[in-house]
Structure 1
Amino acid sequence: MNKTILRYTSNQRTNHWLVAILFLMAGLSGLALFHPAMFWLTNLFGGGPWTRILHPFMGVLMFVFFLGLVFSFWRANFFIGNDRLWLKRINRVMANNEEEVPPVGKYNAGQKLLFWTLLLCMLVLLFSGLVIWRAYFSEYFGITSLRWAMLLHALAGFVLILSIIVHIYAGIWIKGSVSAMMHGWVSRAWAKKHHELWYRQVTQDAPRDDTPERPITKKG
C-alpha cells in the first residue's frame, strides 16, 4: 500500500513558488517606494526609476499567477460546520493536542481564512494599483480617487505582508507542510492527523466500526 498521498501537483507547486517569488519582489519594491527610509531597496532593482517601472508589472504578474492558485484551491476553501468548532478549539491545535479537535478537510479554518484574506488583498492591490499607475491609468482619475487608492493600496499591502508572515510561520510550525509544497507528497499519518476528512476522501479509508469518530459537537 502506498504510504504517501499526493497533496500538490507539480503545476500547483510551480505556481505557488512563482507567486512567492513575485510577492517578494513586488513587496520589496513597494516598500522601497513607500517611505524614504526604505528607498535603498531600489538598488535591488536598478535604482528608483526602474523600481517604479517594474513594481506594477510585478504586481500584475503576481495577481495573474495567484489566480492559478485560486482556480486550483477555491473549492477546498469553502467553510464547513467543523471549521467553526475548529476555531473554538484553536488553543488545542496550538498545543498540538488535536485528538479533541474536529476533523477538517484539505484545509483547516485558519488556512481558509488566510486564503480569502489573500484573495481580498490581491483584488484591492490590483484595482488600487491600476488607479495609481501613473504611466497608463492615473490621468483618468481625480486627486481624491488617487488619494483613496494610495491609502487602500498601502493598507492592503500591509495586511498581505502580515498574512504571508503568518503563512510562513504556520508552514514551518506544522512539520511536513513545507516539504509538501516542495515535493508534493505527505505521509498518510500526517494527512490523517492534520486533515482527517481529506485523508478519508482521498484514501476511501472510513473509520472502523469499533472506533468512534472524534466528536464534532462536544462543548468546550
Structure 2
Amino acid sequence: MKKQILRYNANERTNHWVVSILFVLAALSGLALFHPALFWLTNLFGGGPWTRILHPFLGVGMFAMFLWLVIRFWRYNLFIKNDRIWLKNIGKVMKNEEEGVPPIGKYNPGQKLLFWALIVSMLVLAVTGVIMWRAYFSHFFGIDIIRLASLFHAAAAFVLVTAIIVHVYAAIWIKGSVGAMMSGWVSRAWAKKHHELWYDEVMRKEERKP
C-alpha cells in the first residue's frame, strides 16, 4: 500500500501555477495603472503604453485558466452540513485542537469560502475589464458606465488580492499544503487529519481497485 495519496495531478498543478503567475503580473500591472505613486511598476512591463496594452490580456489569460480550475473543482467546494459546524469551531481549528471538530471533505469551509469569493471577484473583474478596455470595447459604453465599471473593477481587485494573501498565508500555515501543490502528494496521516471525509473516499476507491 502506498504511503502517500495523490491530491493534485500534473495538469492541476500546472494550471494552478500558471494562474498564480498571471495573477501576479495582472496585479502588478493593475497597480501600476491604479495610482501615480505606483507608476514606476510599469518599468517591469516596458513602460506605460506596454503596461496598458498587456494588462487586459493578462487578465483575460488569468480568467480563462481560472475557469478551468472552476470546472475541475467546483463540486468539491459545495457546502455540506459538517462545514457549518466546522466554522462554529474555527477557534479550535486555529489552535490545532481539532478534537470534536467534524470531518470535512477535500476542502475545508474556509477554502470553500475563498473559492467562491475568487469566482465572484474574477467575474466582476472580467465584466468591468471588458467595459473599460479602451482599444476594443469601451466605445460601446457611456462615460458614466465606464466610471462605474472602474470603481467596481478596483473593488473586485482589492477583494481578489486580499483573498490571495489569505490563501497564501493559510497554505503556509497548514504544513504540507504547499508541498501538495508542488509535488501533488500528501501523506495519509495529513489527509486523515485535515480532510478525513476525502481520505475515506480515496481509501474506498483504492479498496475497489483489483
TM-score, structure 2 length as denominator?
0.97
Aligned to 1:143: 143
Amino acid across the alignment from 2:139: E
Aligned to 1:210: none
The structural deviation recorded for 1:149 is: 0.3
The structural deviation recorded for 1:180 is: 0.2
Aligned to 2:191: 191
Higher helix share: 2
1:168 aligns with 2:146: no
Task: Tell me, in whole angstroms, the C-alpha distance in 2 between the residues paired with 1:96 and 1:29.
Answer: 38
Paired residues for 1:22-61 under 5 Å = 22-61=22-61
Please give the secondary structure, in 1, of the residue aligned with 2:68. helix
Please give the secondary structure, in 2, of the residue aligned with 1:97. coil
Please give the secondary structure, in 2, of the residue aligned with 1:96. coil
Task: Tell me, in whole angstroms, the C-alpha distance in 1 between the residues paired with 2:130 and 2:96.
Answer: 43
Gaps of 5+ in 1: 206-220
The structural deviation recorded for 1:61 is: 0.2
The structural deviation recorded for 1:143 is: 1.0
Task: Tell me, in whole angstroms, the C-alpha distance in 1 between the residues paired with 2:181 and 2:130.
Answer: 31
Q: Percent identity?
A: 70
Task: Tell me, in whole angstroms, the C-alpha distance in 2 between the residues paired with 1:38 and 1:101.
Answer: 45
Question: Alpha carbon RMSD of aligned pairs, Å?
Answer: 0.8
Task: Tell me, in whole angstroms, the C-alpha distance in 1 between the residues paired with 2:200 and 2:77.
Answer: 17
TM-score, structure 1 length as denominator?
0.92
Gaps of 5+ in 2: 206-210
Please give the secondary structure, in 2, of the residue aligned with 1:74. helix
Aligned to 2:121: 121
Over 3 Å off, 4+ runs: none
The structural deviation recorded for 1:48 is: 0.2
The structural deviation recorded for 1:164 is: 0.1
Aligned to 2:17: 17
The structural deviation recorded for 1:7 is: 0.3
Task: Tell me, in whole angstroms, the C-alpha distance in 2 between the residues paired with 1:169 and 1:32.
Answer: 24
May I ask how many residue pairs the two structures share in their alignment? 205
Deviations 1:152-172, CA, capped at 9 Å, x for gaps? 000000000000000000000
Task: Tell me, in whole angstroms, the C-alpha distance in 2 between the residues paired with 1:144 and 1:23.
Answer: 28
Residue range with higher mean Cα deviation, 75-84 or 95-104: 95-104
Please give the secondary structure, in 1, of the residue aligned with 2:99. helix
Aligned to 1:107: 107
